Structure formats: C-alpha cells, structure tokens
Amino acid sequence: MSSLILPAILSGLTMGAIYALIALGLTLIYGVLHIINFAHGSLLMLALYAAYFLFLYGGVDPYLAIPILLPVFFCLGYVLQRWLIAPMSGGSEQNVLLVTLALALIIDNLALYFWTSNTRSVDIPYAYNTVEFLGAYLPLGRVIAFFAALAAAPLLWLFMARTRTGSAIRAVAIEKRGAEIVGIDVNHTYAICFGIGTACVSLAACLLLPTFYVTPQVGYTFVLVAFTTVVLGGMGSLPGALIAGLLLGVIESLCGLFLGESLGQIGIFIAFILILLFKPSGLLGRRAS
C-alpha cells in the first residue's frame, strides 16, 4: 500500500485541479454578486455538451475549443445575469437562489429532452496518454488541467487586481452604493462578473472533457464538491479556491486509498467541518466584519 501513496497524492492533485477550475467561477460569482449559483453545475454540463458537439461535428479538439467557448459562455453568463437573473430576483438574495435553481432545472430538462440521457465521451488519439512522474503514470488530460488551474487562478487574480474592470468588480463587491456614486455601471459590472464566472466553467469543461463523460446529470457529479471547495477556500477567494481544490483532491484520494473508495468523500466533509469549526471564513477568506 505504501508504494501507492505518492501516485495517489499526485492523482489527487490532478483531480483537485479540476475541482479548483470548476470552483473558480463559482467563488467569483459569490464573492462579488453574493449569488449562490445553483445553476453552476448545469452550466458546466452545457459547456461540456458544447465542447462535445464541437468535437463531434466540427472535429475541434476540446483544448482548441477553449478560445471558442470562452467568449460564447462569457456572453451567455452576461445575458443570463443582465436580462434574466437580475430582473427576476429584484435584488433579493433569496429570489436569486430560486431563480438559479429554476434555471438549473430548466437547463437540465432541456438537455435531457434534446440530447437524451445518453452518456457521451470523446474518442481522442491521446485519450490514454500518460505522463510519468516520480514513477507514477498521470493521465495527460489531467496533467494539462492541473497546469491550467495553476495558470488560471493567478491570471484571474491579476485581472481582478490590475485592470479597471477588475477594480470596478471589486468596488461593486465591497460597496455597491459607493461604486454607483462614482459612476460605475453596477448592473453591467454584475453581468460582466457573472460572464467571467460562466467563462471559467467553460474552461473547466474543455479541460475535463478529454478525461470524463457527458450526460445531462454530469453537473451534479461536481457541483457539490465545487461548493465545498468555495467554502473551504474562503468565499470569493480565487487563490483560496485553487488551494482548497487541490487539498480536497488529495484528501479524497488518500481517504479512498486507506478507507476504501466508497468512503473517500468522508475525508472531504471531515476537512470541511474542521475548517468551519476552526476557521469559519475558510482558508483564505476575509473575516466577516
């Protein structure tokens, strides 16, 4: 068993990178908009289908689909927030929960209706390629996702810290009324933020597709662990989401190895409870004032 510990840790890190990628968009949307986006898993599913159909009908490799799907899903997120979620919720956070939940149900059932419950996956030439590292064989797709997550989190953080749009988003997150007074278009900024969060989901989908499958229910496979990642990392914290995702991946992998795969998720939730008990704001979250 001891010879399996290092491969299990490395495998956990690469799986955790996927969790982090999915959680990045979620934490951004929560951090700024204070929206707990129940439709996040459904949007992930939608992006997976988009990448799948690009591959199926256009022969577009899932990785090459990234520059196509990022703007498409940014626009989708922008439109959803600007012209659906915001007007329907009327500024109430409880209403937002219901609207995103309704959105999830609609997207899931439309997917089921149009694309049926068939499980689909892409047959790509490098599907079984691995990278050998310290004696462990790591699936190439997961290694790519790992480095993509390592790059995406700091890039997104830089965008938020160094650009005018990022500053506007942070301003709206901290003091909405004040931002309005200094001339920031709050509704536009909210929509941009939701758009970026949705674009992050499409990035995660393109990186996930080479190693996973697509069904109308696939979002639920990841959404719970993504919510856990966000809370563990600190709501709204991009570096926190990255660290928490990687941590959860390793914890899940090691618990699976030592306690059995059926009990692997216990580790995730034990870590979650411990963090909530001893550091309720999450690993890198700001303490509530």
Partner 1 sequence: MTYTLNRRSLLRASGAAALVGGLSMPSILRAQGQTVKIGVLEPLTGNLAYNGTQCAAGAKFAADAINAAGGIKSMGGAQIELVVVDAQSRPEIAASAVDTLAEAGVCAFTGASASALGLASSQAAAKYDLAQVFSIGTAETIVERGLPNVFRFTPGVNKCTSVALENLKLLNAAAGSPVKTAAIVHEDGPFGSNMAKIMAEKLPEQGIEVVETISHPTPHRDFNNIALRVKASGANILIPSNYLNEYTLMARALRQQRAELMAIYSILGGAASNIKFVRENNDVAQYVMDCNHWYDPNKPESQALAASVAEAGLDLTYDVMVSYATIQVIADALERGASTDRKAMIEALAASTFDGSIMPYGPTKFVNGDNVNSQPVNTQIRGDKIELVFPKEYATAEPVFPVPREG
Binding site for partner 1 (CB under 8 A): 1, 3-4, 7-8, 11, 15, 109, 112, 116-123, 127-128, 130, 137, 139, 211-213, 215-217, 221-222, 252-253, 256-257, 260-262, 264-265
What are the backbone dihedrals phi and psi of residue 137, each rounded to the nearest 5 degrees, phi first? -100, 115
| Residue carrying the six token digits 């997150």 | 173
Which residue type occupies 50? A
Which of 89, 265 has the CB closer to partner 1? 265
Which of 189, 211 has the CB closer to partner 1? 211
Which of 6, 161 has the CB closer to partner 1? 6
Min separation Cβ 286 and partner 1, Å: 30
Of 225, 113, 224, 86, the residue nearest 105 (C-alpha): 113
Min separation Cβ 57 and partner 1, Å: 15
Min separation Cβ 267 and partner 1, Å: 13
Of 161, 157, 189, 152, the residue nearest 173 (C-alpha): 189
Which of 98, 127 has the CB closer to partner 1? 127
Q: Other C-beta atoms within 10 Å of 101: how many?
A: 15
As a whole number of angstroms, the distance between CA 22 and CA 226 comes to 6
Q: Where are the alpha helices (DSSP H) in 116-263?
A: 140-162, 164-174, 176-181, 186-208, 218-233, 238-259
Which of 31, 256 has the CB closer to partner 1? 256
Which of 114, 278 has the CB closer to partner 1? 114
Min separation Cβ 148 and partner 1, Å: 17
Q: Other C-beta atoms within 10 Å of 25: how many?
A: 32
Min separation Cβ 119 and partner 1, Å: 6
Of 128, 111, 113, 131, the residue nearest 52 (C-alpha): 111
Min separation Cβ 217 and partner 1, Å: 6
**Contact by Cβ (8 Å): 194, 100:** no
Min separation Cβ 221 and partner 1, Å: 5
Which of 121, 165 has the CB closer to partner 1? 121
Three-state SS sequence of 5-56: HHHHHHHHHHHHHHHHHHHHHHHHHHHHHCCCCCCHHHHHHHHHHHHHHHHH
Min separation Cβ 42 and partner 1, Å: 15
Of 40, 70, 53, the residue nearest 219 (C-alpha): 40
Which of 195, 267 has the CB closer to partner 1? 267
